[in-house]
A = this chain, B = another copy of it.
Amino acid sequence: MGFWKNLFNGTGGTAIATADSALGVSTQVIGEAANPRAKAGIESRITFRKDRNIDLYELEELCDAVGWSRRPLRKVKKAIEHSFLVVTMWEVRGNYRRMVGFSRATSDHAFNATIWDVVIHPDFQSRGLGKALMQNIVRELRREDISNITLFADPQVVKFYQGLGFKPDPEGIKGMFWYPNSRY
């Protein structure tokens, strides 16, 4: 798919399983970016991963940092297990690593995917990393031959997603949510 070539700048070609010494588990790094918070003299980078070696408390902290309501960890764990794809973003400096972004998608593994829970730590917002996270998740879904990639966007992020090629209400198609007490 030559179409991806420029977009991803060759960084995310093939998923690379790496032995991660800090975690003691194999990780799947799918992309990299420069760390906008890098300090002179310290090797530092941003990596994108699609393994599910996620500390639920660390994820909760990340969601706290953007002001999301807390959710039961038992359900968060189940949701991650049953997501088709999970892409996380990490700040890596030597042996130090910290999860600074998260997103996941549900899917029927064939036609449709829906992206949920896109979160970027405030320290890393407005630096192009939300865009990079989304590009990684879209690329992985395309690689799995998913043709219909969807999401539900809060009003303040509609423009952000438009900039990434997502269209609101295409051909008049409406996103709808069921409300328990709206009619009954």
Copies in the complex: 2
B168 in contact with A174 (CB, 8 Å): yes
A149-184 interface mask toward B, CB cutoff 8 Å, 1 = contact, 0 = none? Answer: 111111100100111111111111111111111111
For the complex, give the distance between the alpha carbons of A151 and B184 in Å.
19
Q: Which of A84, A110, A155, A181 has the most CB of B within 10 A?
A: A110
Question: What is the chain B residue whose CB lies nearest that of A6?
Answer: B184
Instruction: Summarize A's interface: helix, strand, loop or mixed.
Output: mixed
Number of A residues contacting the other chain (C-beta, 8 Å)?
58
Given A75-B110, A154-B172, A167-B179, 6 more contacts at CB 8 Å?
A: A104-B108, A106-B108, A152-B174, A155-B172, A165-B179, A165-B182
Interface residues, chain A, with chain B CB atoms under 8 Å away: 3, 6-7, 71, 75-76, 78-84, 104, 106-112, 114, 116, 138, 142, 148-155, 158, 161-184
